[in-house]
Amino acid sequence: MSHSTNKPLRVLSGMRPTGRLHLGHYKGVLQNWLQLQEQHQCFFFAADWHALTTDYANPAIVKQTIWDMLIDWLAVGIDPEKSVIFIQSAVPEHAELHLLFSFMTPLSWLERVPTYKDQISELREKDLGTYGFLGYPLLQSADILMYLADAVPVGEDQVPHVELTREIARRFNHLYREPGQPLFPEPQPLLMPASKLPGLDGRKMSKSYGNTIELAETWKVTEKKIKTMPTDPARIRRTDAGTPELCPVWDYHKIYSSEEERKELDQGCRNAGIGCLDCKKVLLQHIEEELQPIRDRRVAIAAREDDLRDIIRKGNEQARLQAGRTMEKVRKALQMGYRV
Ligand code: TRP
Ligand code: SF4
């Protein structure tokens, strides 16, 4: 689905507060959200209940990271005037909808979601043989359908969850609504291309590899990380020629530097006309230009805690308003009009 259709879509996406955000999140996810909020009605939420499906034994992680994550969103420009920004657990309707969906969802639909078995074997140190973990994608379906979303920006691994959501929407509409009168639209995944920005060591940028640049760290820390980044191992001495394609720094230049700069650096690398530090200096300047304003805003937002809480409180209220409307229709469809 194209991002630039003229008709505004209802877009919803969530992120689990499980750690500090890094440049990979910014390049891969947040920049995408920033674009979407310019044209569409967006709902962005902190999926704190989802974090508990895997980190139930350590709820402190959520508490430690949720506000940092929200500050990061605001600092990069997710705008509460344009988007509804909220916390999942502040809208308990998500739990109600999840429950009601659970009655009509065949177990086999959940068991065959690819992330289910993958994650259980990948995260062996956590016991994920739980009821809640099996239901994770169904909770996600509730998140999405609650806001009658048309489009869900997700990475490739999450596409099956949106597919499941489409099936849930269809099943609900079929069971509880007249033909031609669906309550839930079938949402489309908006596939976000994986971030092309690798980690400092050339592997995927990920907290678990310890190769990230965090949005919240100081410039001194970032500078040191980049200065000590590995380069083409052939360049042992300053006079050794190198090959940019064999260097993780080069992947950063492909994202941050102009074609002109790259041409010059490429030559300098190949004929040992420049040292790696010279090459990195060009990069450092671009990254600083990008990150410094974000970090300044971060500090300013974090310093006004009351304003921040007001922003999120307002987002929570907006989300609950919409959730309340949807749940009224859902209860009606389930003939729960006997409730007084
Ligand atoms: N499962 C998503 C992830 O791990 C987070 C998420 C929860 C989500 N609910 C959502 C994403 C609804 C999109 C829509 O990244
Ligand atoms: Fe990498 Fe640049 Fe050094 Fe070449 S000059 S090896 S591209 S850091």
Interval 159-170: pLDDT, tens: 999 999 999 999
Does any domain span residue 207? no
Nearest to 162 by CA among 130, 183, 140, 184: 140
3-state secondary structure of 46: strand
Asked if residue 232 has its Cβ within 6 Å of ligand 2, the reply is: yes
| CB distance 88 to 49 below 8 Å | yes
Same domain, 57 and 193: yes
Q: Which of 123 and 290 is assigned the larger pLDDT? A: 290
Amino acid 336: pLDDT: 94
Same domain, 92 and 166: yes
Asked if residue 249 has its Cβ within 6 Å of ligand 2, the reply is: yes
Both tokens assigned to 313: 């409180």
User: Strand pairing partners for 41?
Assistant: 10
Pocket test for ligand 2, best of 229, 247, 255, 270 (most atoms within 8 A of CB): 247
Same domain, 78 and 177: yes
Same domain, 295 and 310: no
Dihedral angle over CA of 207, 212, 215, 219, nearest 10? 140
d(CA 186, CA 145): 8
Nearest to 11 by CA among 37, 50, 47, 49: 37
| CA atoms 244, 246, 252, 254: torsion sign | positive
Tabulate helix, strand, coil % of the chain (nearest 5).
Answer: 60, 10, 35
Q: Tell me how many domains the chain contains.
A: 2
pLDDT tens, residue by residue, 229-257:
999 999 999 999 999 999 999 999 999 99
Amino acid 334: pLDDT: 97
Nearest to 61 by CA among 126, 110, 9, 124: 126
Whether pLDDT at 208 is above 90: no
d(CA 146, CA 326): 6
User: Strand pairing partners for 42?
Assistant: 11, 83
Same domain, 248 and 224: yes
Whether pLDDT at 3 is above 80: no
Q: Measure 249 CA to ligand 2 centroid, in angstroms.
A: 6
Nearest to 269 by CA among 279, 261, 260, 258: 279
d(CA 237, CA 276): 10
Same domain, 61 and 139: yes
What's the mean pLDDT when you consider all of the chain? Answer: 95
pLDDT band at 121 (very low <50, low <70, confident <90, very high): confident
Does any domain span residue 208? no
Q: Which of 74 and 193 is assigned the larger pLDDT? A: 74
Does any domain span residue 3? no
pLDDT tens, residue by residue, 270-294:
999 999 999 999 999 999 999 999 9
Does any domain span residue 162? yes
Residue type, 228: T
Same domain, 296 and 312: no
User: Strand pairing partners for 86?
Assistant: 45
* Average confidence (pLDDT) over 296-311: 97
pLDDT above 90 as % of the chain: 89
Q: Which of 193 and 319 is assigned the larger pLDDT? A: 319
Both tokens assigned to 11: 């877009």
Amino acid 5: pLDDT: 54
Whether pLDDT at 1 is above 70: no
* Average confidence (pLDDT) over 8-35: 95
Same domain, 158 and 142: yes
| CA atoms 210, 211, 212, 218: torsion sign | positive
Asked if residue 283 has its Cβ within 6 Å of ligand 1, the reply is: no
Same domain, 100 and 232: no
Same domain, 260 and 113: no
pLDDT band at 115 (very low <50, low <70, confident <90, very high): confident
Same domain, 193 and 156: yes
* Average confidence (pLDDT) over 28-47: 97
Does any domain span residue 27? yes
How would DSSP label each residue in 54-114? Answer: HHTT-THHHHHHHHHHHHHHHHHT--TTTEEEEEGGG-THHHHHHHHHHHHS-HHHHHT-H
Q: Measure 56 CA to ligand 2 centroid, in angstroms.
A: 44
Pocket test for ligand 1, best of 161, 188, 192, 195 (most atoms within 8 A of CB): 161
The number of the ligand 1 atom at minimal distance from the alpha carbon of 12 is 14
Ligand nearest to the CA of 257: 2
Amino acid 195: pLDDT: 82
- Residue 164: CB atoms within 10 A of its CB come to 20
Residue 247 structural domain: 217-300
Same domain, 193 and 273: no
Backbone φ, ψ for residue 86 (5° rounding) = -150, 175
The Cα-based distances of 237 to 53, 263, 275, 277 in angstroms read 50, 22, 9, 12
Amino acid 80: pLDDT: 98
